[in-house]
Amino acid sequence: MVSLREAKRPFVVAIDLGTSSARSVLYDAEANTVEGMYAQIPYQMTTTPDGGVEIDANHLLDLVYRVIDDLLQKCAQLKTDLAGQVAVVGTCTFWHSLLGVDEAGEAITPLFNWNDTRSRDFAVQLEAEVGRSWLHERTGCLPHSSYYPAKIRWLRATNPELARRVRKWISIGEYLFSRIFGSQVISPSMASGTGLLNPRLRNWDSEVLNVLKIDIDFLSSVAESRQYVAELKPDFAARWPLLSQVKWALPIGDGAASNIGSGCVTSSRIAINVGTSGAMRVCYKSNNVPMFPGLWVYLASRDYVVIGGALSNAGDVYAWCRDTLRIEHDDIDDELAQLEPDSHGLTVLPFFSGERSTGWADHARAAVTGMTLNTTALEIVQAMLEAVAFRFAAIFDLLRPELSDESCIVASGGAILRSSYIPQLLADVIGVPVTGSLAPEASSRGAAIFALVECGQISSFEALDVPLGKTYESRQERYEHYREARRRQEHLYKLLVEEGLGESD
């Protein structure tokens, strides 16, 4: 973080629309946050008993507008006039959101979030119809309720009248830009998270669209490199005069932005993000797009691939423990660190919202076995966090062929910044060093860096220094201990998930 006086011009405004809050941040030309120039508005999506997670898209955009208002109001209160000193705006949003709009571009469906699992049966049907490997090979995505194919089929089957009114399927980032610019393009990054893009071709996959009976006109055009928009619509130009004539880079996926923001843009650095959900990703420049069973392949840009896996549950597992077991207090990290690894006798599947990587089992649900009358709330928390770490380790095992012996993990996210226990746990479970990122907002920082590159302010994602914090070395004796615990978790997974006993219905 730098003061306004120390900040290098020009400035970048970053907008980060996450799963639980909208944020806007002012960065300088070296992607340092400017002191005090930050705004955030939290929100919650609506959940339903059958697995729905949705929100009114116009309400969500109102929050984005307000968070931009808040940041610009803080800028206006500075003694220094920033007019002409903001060069670009970068935006990242959560991947996989689906919205249907009508002929006028107005939202007519709710915005369905990535963790809306109501379409899980349609994902199973799609896998039976075309095969998991066929879809994965063509799109880098797997049959799962996270992606557009299952969601669109679900909506067509459950609300055909509404589905027939849809004239375009878009993401929340596209909807934002259609409102403020009239833009009708999608970045390769956001398109790659739909399950409809061929990442090797950097364009929509015609065979997949044919199977799903989706006309290409129902999707936005995929942008070229260095494509940006400018000149806000008059009402937004009047509302945000500081941003009215600057270049806005197209929205990218927040996962790709997190890799960029934490400096994980080579094959030797792996990014872990622990937020509401979790992800492990490697991102690097390549024309080739390898496919690994169980892992997805997205794009950060036309030049950079992102390979990895995602957990539907990560930080929200701790949040569940905090709220349900009432264990939150200041020294929780110290208390957890004093416990012996896997000393509780519990085996946990942390699938409160189903499973994505590595098994992609929508029907999976959380389970705890081994509890006795002596089991304590703290031991349940320990077992839950260890279980999440085991799922990250499973992703790492699949990524390992892409990595060098010198590979290290850079961890980011609110849970990482607030905890010393979690990064040490990850290092012990995965077996490689884990370094904490000092970027307080890796995804918004990545959006800022992406915008600087796309709009020609800097040469590459690697051009700026990466702020790194403490490194946690893996302790071999704990690594070996956790390997046995992981085998126990895998056995429970086979019993409850692979054999179908975890079916919610």
DSSP class per residue in 252-321: EEHHHHHHHHTT--STTEEEEEESSSEEEEEEEE-S-----TT-EEEESSSSEEEEEEEES-SHHHHHHH
What count of other Cβ atoms lies within 10 Å of the Cβ of residue 279? 26
Top mean pLDDT of 21-30, 269-278, 433-442 is at: 21-30
What count of other Cβ atoms lies within 10 Å of the Cβ of residue 473? 11
Whole-number pLDDT of residue 505: 39
C-alpha span between 235 and 389 (Å, rounded):
47
pLDDT mean over 351-374? 92
pLDDT mean over 250-261? 95
* Nearest by Cα to 8 from 466, 469, 458: 458
CA atoms within a 13 Å half-sphere pointing along the CA-CB vector of 92: 32
**H or E element, residue 183:** none
**H or E element, residue 155:** helix 148-158
Q: Check residues 466 and 369 and name the one with the higher pLDDT.
A: 369
In sequence order, the 6+-apart residues with CB closer than 8 A to the CB of 329 are none
pLDDT mean over 422-450? 92
Q: Check residues 139 and 224 and name the one with the higher pLDDT.
A: 139
**H or E element, residue 248:** strand 247-249
Residue-wise pLDDT for 286-315, tens only, equals 888 889 889 999 999 999 999 999 998 888
C-alpha span between 194 and 171 (Å, rounded):
9
C-alpha span between 94 and 113 (Å, rounded):
9
Whole-number pLDDT of residue 245: 87
405 pLDDT higher than 90: no
What is the 3-state secondary structure of 340-394? CCCCCCCEEECCECECCCCCCCCCCCCEEECCCCCCCHHHHHHHHHHHHHHHHHH
Are the CB atoms for 81 and 137 separated by under 8 Å?
no
Whole-number pLDDT of residue 105: 97
C-alpha span between 502 and 246 (Å, rounded):
51
* Nearest by Cα to 274 from 116, 368, 395, 388: 388
Q: Taking the model in full, what pTM does it have?
A: 0.89
Inter-helix orientation angle 421-430/377-399, to 10°: 50
> Per the CATH hierarchy, to which homologous superfamily does domain 263-438+475-505 belong?
ATPase, nucleotide binding domain (3.30.420.40)
361 pLDDT higher than 50: yes
Whole-number pLDDT of residue 238: 97
CA atoms within a 13 Å half-sphere pointing along the CA-CB vector of 126: 29
Which pair of tokens denotes residue 138? Answer: 């063509």
415 pLDDT higher than 80: no
Residue 417 pLDDT grade (very low, low, confident, very high; cuts 50, 70, 90): low
C-alpha span between 183 and 89 (Å, rounded):
15
317 pLDDT higher than 60: yes
* Nearest by Cα to 450 from 68, 93, 182: 93
Residue 7 pLDDT grade (very low, low, confident, very high; cuts 50, 70, 90): very high
Using DSSP, state whether 232 is helix, strand or coil.
coil
Residue ranges of the chain assigned to CATH 3.30.420.40: 11-253, 263-438+475-505
Whole-number pLDDT of residue 121: 95
Rg from Cα positions in the chain: 22
Region 11-253: CATH code = 3.30.420.40
Are the CB atoms for 182 and 174 separated by under 8 Å?
no
pLDDT mean over 347-372? 93
C-alpha span between 299 and 256 (Å, rounded):
7
C-alpha span between 196 and 209 (Å, rounded):
7
**Mean pLDDT, all residues of the chain:** 93
503 pLDDT higher than 80: no
Residue-wise pLDDT for 29-69, tens only, equals 999 999 999 999 999 999 999 999 999 999 999 999 999 99
Which pair of tokens denotes residue 497? Answer: 């998930």
pLDDT mean over 151-170? 98
Burial of 230 (C-beta count, 10 Å sphere; 0-12/13-18/19+)? middle
Expressed in angstroms, the distance from the first to the final Cα of the chain is: 50
* Phi and psi torsions of 73, nearest 5°: -65, -40
For tokens 């800022």, the residue is 448
Instruction: Give percent of the chain with pLDDT exceeding 90.
Output: 79
Q: Among 114-118, 207-211, 326-330, whose mean pLDDT is lowest?
A: 326-330
Q: Among 40-54, 92-106, 409-423, whose mean pLDDT is lowest?
A: 409-423
Query: b/e map of 357-392 (b: 16 or more CB within 10 Å)?
Result: bbbbbbbbbbbbeeeeeeeeebbbbbbbbbbbbbbb
pLDDT mean over 226-242? 94
Q: CA angle, corner 21, sides to 19 and 23, nearest 5?
A: 120
Whole-number pLDDT of residue 398: 93
Residue 400 pLDDT grade (very low, low, confident, very high; cuts 50, 70, 90): confident
Burial of 44 (C-beta count, 10 Å sphere; 0-12/13-18/19+)? exposed
Using DSSP, state whether 330 is helix, strand or coil.
coil
For tokens 């020294």, the residue is 331
| 40 beta partners | 23
